[in-house]
Structure 1
C-alpha cells in the first residue's frame, strides 16, 4: 500500500503543470518574484559582490519572461511588470552587467551556460560564490 501511495504521488508530480514548464526555464513563483524585485532594485550595489567572486560552483536561472502560475489569491508580477521595474533601475542593472563582464570567473560561468550578460537584470550571490541570476 505504501509503495502504491509513493507511485501515485510521483505520478502526480510528473504530471503537474510545473513539470510541464518549458524545458530549461523556471517559472516565476511568488517568492521568486519577490526575490527578483529585490535583486533588480539592488543590482547596482550587488555589482561589488560580483566583482569579488573568485569561484562559481553553481548557477541558477530564473527567467522573468516566463509567466508564473497564477492562483486565485496570488499577487504575482507579470513579465511586463518586470520590464517596468527594470526601466526604473537601468543604471544599477548596467553596473551589474559591467561587473559580470569584468570578472573573468563570472563571465566564464555565464559563457559556459550560454547566458548573455545583457539579459541579466539581477543576481543573488551565495556565500560560496554560487549565482542565482534573474534574466529576461
Structure 2
C-alpha cells in the first residue's frame, strides 16, 4: 500500500517516480513541504504534502483516479491552477477520506490539512462574467434594477 507520487519531465517528456525526499527535491530544484506526521512506509506520497508543495512551487498537480498507476502527478512546466483542482475537489476528497478511513494512509492532522486545502481552493471564483457582473449571473442577477 503506497501513495505514488510521479513527476513529469521537462516539457512533459518522461515520467519519473522518485523514491526519496532528496531525490524529489533534486528533481524539483526546491524543498518539498512534508506532511505533519509523515509515514515513510507508504511511499513518497505518505511523506510529502503534495497539495501545498504544488501550490508553493506553482506547479500543476493532477490527482490520479482508480485507473492510474499513480496517486499524484506534479507537472513543473505548468502553473498551479486552483480552478482545475476545484473541478476535481469531490474526487480528491473522496480519495483522501477513503484512504484515511479505510486504509491508515493519513494521520488525523494531515487528513484535516488536506480537507482544509480543498476548502480553501473552493473559494476560487468561477469564470469571469462577460457582462461585468462579479457574481457571474449577468443581467439575471440584477433583477432588482428592472
Task: State the TM-score, normalizing by the size of structure 1.
Answer: 0.33
Q: Which has the larger radius of gyration?
A: 2
- Structure with greater proportional helix content: 1
Greater length-normalized contact order (CA 8 Å, ≥ 6 residues apart):
1
